[in-house]
Amino acid sequence: MSATVIWSLALVALAGFLAAYWSNLRLARRRDRLERVNEQLKDLYGPLLALISAADSAWWIFRADYRPNGAFWDQDDPPTEAEGEAWRLWISTVFMPLNRQMRDLIVTKAPLFDEESVPKCLLDLCAHVSAYEPILVSWDSGNFALHKPARNFPRDQALHHAQESFRRLKSRQQQLLRHR
């Protein structure tokens, strides 16, 4: 075999090796991106969206039954004692269990956020939930002077963030699956 043929075969073999290497590298990177997106959906945004949506639905059910017009704790038209009892019941048995799950999810799964830091609306959610804890303790002691923390639950912002992030990740997931 001539040197030209040997060099030609070596170049073809090298080109084949490099093509296979780059193809495998590209596939591995796509697989890694898909695994990350799947983890974000499964461990963070799927559960977060479900919890925020459940809390939002429960809120509207509660408000349809209790003081549907205006602010619940209106200083000019305060709730009745029965309405205050209903508030405490719903907060302690419906909203706080959901809120604690949201807060714990945000704290434990923070590395799964795409953003450089936890979004402000979710930090506000965590602050709201934590600020409610001493109020619940005071209710357990029969002290009903405080009804809610100074920071409101960022329902609209948190729901919007969870919906948009979930939608964006589902779209990215579908794109990665199509180009396998």
- Which of 135, 62, 168, 55 has its CA nearest to residue 102? 55
Please check whether residue 28 lies inside any domain of the structure.
Answer: no
Please check whether residue 9 lies inside any domain of the structure.
Answer: no
Please check whether residue 1 lies inside any domain of the structure.
Answer: no
Question: What pLDDT is recorded for position 180?
Answer: 61
Please check whether residue 44 lies inside any domain of the structure.
Answer: yes
Q: What is the mean pLDDT of residues 79-89?
A: 97
Burial (CB count <10 Å: 0-12, 13-18, 19+), residue 152: exposed
Question: What pLDDT is recorded for position 10?
Answer: 67
Q: Could you tell me what percent of the chain has a pLDDT over 70? A: 91
Domain that holds residue 117: 33-178
Fill in the DSSP letter of residue 39. Answer: H
Q: What is the mean pLDDT of residues 10-17?
A: 68
Domain total of the chain:
1
Question: What pLDDT is recorded for position 29?
Answer: 79
Greater confidence (24 vs 169) lies with 169
Q: Would the pTM count as exceeding 0.75? A: yes
Please check whether residue 37 lies inside any domain of the structure.
Answer: yes
Classified as helix, coil or strand, 86 is helix
List C-alpha distances in Å: 73 to 96, 160, 180.
Answer: 18, 25, 55
Please check whether residue 164 lies inside any domain of the structure.
Answer: yes
Greater confidence (7 vs 72) lies with 72
